Structure formats: structure tokens, C-alpha cells
């Protein structure tokens, strides 16, 4: 898979996680553990995107 394709895939996952976080926070009683996990995964993906974009 080309780097650009991989970055595109990661960006899609990042956006999906952002939507999942929004849905969870809009619930009457959001699950703090689930939110933490979603945010951690979103940050991990963002770090991966940044690393791939820095490569020559």
C-alpha cells in the first residue's frame, strides 16, 4: 500500500473515532472508560499520520 493510501485510511479512521467520541459524549451518561479508550486510539492514529507525513 502506498504511503498516501495508508494516510488516507488513517484519516478516515481518525474521523470515525471523532464521530464515536461525539456520540459518546452526547449520551446522558457517557462511559468515561470508553471515552478514554477512544481518545487514546484517536491520538495514536494522529501520531501515526504525523510520522508518515514527515517521511521523505
Predicted pLDDT of residue 55: 87
| CA–CA dist 54, 45 (Å, integer) | 14
pTM of the full structure: 0.89
Average pLDDT over residues 42-54: 97
Q: pLDDT, tens digit, for every residue of 3-31?
A: 999 999 999 999 999 999 999 999 999 99
Average pLDDT over residues 29-53: 97
Amino acid at each position: 500500500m502506498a504511503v498516501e493510501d495508508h494516510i488516507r485510511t488513517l484519516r478516515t479512521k481518525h474521523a470515525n473515532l471523532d464521530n464515536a467520541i461525539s456520540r459518546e459524549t452526547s449520551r446522558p451518561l457517557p462511559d468515561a472508560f470508553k471515552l478514554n479508550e477512544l481518545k487514546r486510539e484517536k491520538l495514536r492514529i494522529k501520531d501515526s499520520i504525523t510520522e508518515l507525513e514527515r517521511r521523505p
